[in-house]
Amino acid sequence: MAIAITLHVIAAVLWVGGMFFAWMILRPVAAGQLEPPARLTLWRGVFDRFFPWVWASVAVLLVTGLWMLFAVFGGMAGARWHIHLMLLVGLGMMAIYLHVWFAPYRRLCRAVEAADWPEGGRQLGQIRRLVGINLILGLLTVAIASGGRYL
């Protein structure tokens, strides 16, 4: 069980920490210092490197979360409320990420390749909003995971 919880926490830290860095640090600096062609090209490169880590995190979170759910609690019926809520919010985050990957990120890549900077800006704006929502959900999930059993 130690391996499962360790991998689970590392995956969550990588995903949520990456979103925090992108939203709170990189985004304001890039917006303030780079013109659209450079900014959109930068973000495409950032996503190209970050998204494989998110895919790995999603896989690890699902596998280890279900492993612990059944090994520790014997399934959904044995889990307390905070485990159910953590699973629900985590699945919602994964759904948002899948939408980002298959829709605005793909459109951003096409816009950058075509040097269509206004369209790229629209797609980056959509990604920014969705990452912001996922960041809030991720921080909520961390709070639920770490403090839920004490409530």
Q: What's the rounded Cα separation, in Å, for the pair 77 and 9?
A: 23
Per-residue confidence (pLDDT) for residue 97, from 0 to 100: 98
Q: Which pLDDT does position 134 carry in this prediction?
A: 98
Q: What is the extent of the structural domain holding 123?
A: 2-150
Q: What angle do CA 20, 142, 91 make, to 5 degrees?
A: 90
Residue-wise pLDDT tens digits, 90-101 = 999 999 999 999
pLDDT tens by residue, 74-114 = 888 888 989 999 999 999 999 999 999 999 999 999 999 99
Q: What is the pLDDT of residue 95?
A: 98
**CA–CA distance from 55 to each of 50, 73, 75 (Å)?**
9, 26, 25
Q: Note the pTM of the prediction, 2 decimals.
A: 0.94
Q: What is the pLDDT of residues 29-87, one digit of tens each?
A: 999 999 999 999 999 999 999 999 999 999 999 999 999 999 988 888 888 989 999 99
Res 150: pLDDT: 83
For the chain, the domain total comes to 1
Q: Please report which confidence band the pLDDT of residue 151 belongs to, taking 50, 70 and 90 as the band edges.
A: confident
